[in-house]
Each structure stands twice: as C-alpha cells, then as structure tokens.
Amino acid sequence: MSQPDNASRRAFLRNTFTLIPTVGLAGGVSLTAKAAEPPPNLGDYQPAFFSDEEWAFLLAACDRLIPGESAGKGPGALDTNVPVFIDRQMDSPYGHAERWYMEGPYVLDGSPDLGFQYPYTPRDVYQKGIAMTQQYCQQQHGKRFDQLDADTQDSVLKALEANDIDFASLGESQKLEASEFFSSLLENTKEGYLADPIHGGNKHMAAWKMVGFPGARANFRDWVDQHNVEYPLGPVSLTGERG
C-alpha cells in the first residue's frame, strides 16, 4: 500500500493517464448502456419476493455479515443495498434454478462431495431457511431474529454456519441443512456487495472503491507494465457511473 513518493507519483499519474480512459469510457458507455437509474433508498425499497417478516430477517442478517461503518472502516451490506440485490436475484434465472438439473429422483443421502441434491430452488432455500431460523430464535430466545441484539444475532449465525441448528427437528423433510442455507446467504451477500451496481447492490460502487477495483474500465494497456504501482483511477460501472 505505502509508496515512497506519493505526491510526485500522483502528479505524474494525473498528467499521464487520467484523460485517456475517461474519454474512452464516456464514448463506449453512452453508446451501449442504458441510462443509469439512481439506486433506491433501502428504507423505501419494497421487496418483490420477500415478505415483511423475511425482509426484516434479511436486513438484520446482512447487517451482521457485512456490518457498516459503525463496526469499522468500509461500507456495510446495508449501505450498499445488498438486500435489494438478493431480492432481485430471487426473480432471476438463479432464484428459480432455471439452469439447474431439477429432475428426480432426489437422492438425499449421498456424499456431500457429489454436490447439491435438494429439490429446492434458491427461492425455496431462503423461504425455508428464514422460517426455520425464526422458529429457532423464538424457541431459544422468545424473539424473532431481527429483534435480538447484535451479539445474539451473531451467535445464531454462527450456529447456522456450524450446522448446530437442527433443521430436521424444525420440520425440514428434505434434509436441507442450516449450513447450506447459511452458505447461500453469505455467498449472495458477498456477491451483492462486490457485483456491478447494475444488479442492485454495491451502491455507488462503494465496495469497489474500498478495495481498489476499477470496475468495468476493462482497458489497462497503459497500466499493465506499471508494476507495483497503485492504480490511480476510481471505478466505473456498466451503466457509466463513475466513482
């Protein structure tokens, strides 16, 4: 991260490189991408797939998986609209498992190394996983997940992750496991955090700015030989937003 002579390096970068990619992108994006709609305010967003109770769970869980600035440097899942991303994914080919092989018979006692075998789409996994987690929280704590304090929420998430919550005893008939639900939730949360904002999360490319990924610039002919030098430009998105 640290560079010996930042001021002179930055001046050099400004003079040499700043204009070239900016001009190139303005041309490319305006011709091919739809005009960007501003991302919604998370508080105003009406989920298309999740019920109010499921949505409250999702907001609370995402906030623990990638917490906001109050926990430490960097934007959080809620700052970057990750729940919006997940809600939109539920109505994508992914949410409906449109590309997957979903023909029976379903054999549920094979080795986990042979991969996903549930008769469930991601939509099913979320609905069942959230319902059973809420049921567990009610049994253990007498409250819904989103009503628990942060530490207790973390302990519930850790129990899901470690498969220490027995979904079968909560009514699961097809052997969906808590750890499977957790890993879908965590994977989708990270995707929403780091994917292009066109998919609903990573609002204003905040996560890309945090890590230093330049997004959809996709032209580094003038930079590939700048070894061990930090890239100077902020990200751009598929719709031409600049960070």
What is the x/- site pattern for another protein, positions 113-152, by CB under 8 A?
A: xxxxx-----------------------------------
Binding positions for another protein, 52-81, rule CB under 8 A: 64-67, 71-74, 76
| Position 35 contacts another protein (CB under 8 A) | no
- Per CB under 8 A, contacts with another protein among 147-186 are 154, 157, 161, 186
* Count of positions on this chain that bind another protein (CB under 8 A): 71
198 lies in the binding site for another protein (CB under 8 A) = yes
Least separation in angstroms between CB 142 and another protein: 25
Residues for the chain: how many in total? 243
Residues 8-27 that bind another protein (CB under 8 A): none
Q: Which residues contact 201 (CB under 8 A, 6 or more apart)?
A: 80, 81, 82, 84, 85, 86, 191, 192, 193, 195
Determine which residue in the list 155, 191, 234, 243 makes contact with another protein, applying CB under 8 A. 191
- Work out whether 97 is an interface residue with another protein (CB under 8 A): yes
Separation between Cα atoms, residue 173 and residue 170, nearest integer Å? 9
| The two structure tokens encoding residue 64 | 């623990």
The residue (of 139 and 162) whose beta carbon lies closer to another protein is 162
The CA-atom distances, in angstroms, between 133 and each of 112, 120, 175, 186, 187 are 22, 17, 15, 15, 18
Q: Determine the Cα–Cα distance for residues 212 and 206; give it in Å rounded to an integer.
A: 10
CA 234 from centre of chain: 20
Q: Which is nearer to another protein, 54 or 196 (CB)?
A: 196
Using CB under 8 A as the binding rule, whether residue 86 contacts another protein is answered as no
Q: How far apart are CA 222 and CA 215, in angstroms?
A: 16
- Given 194, 234, 242, 243, the residue binding another protein (CB under 8 A): 194
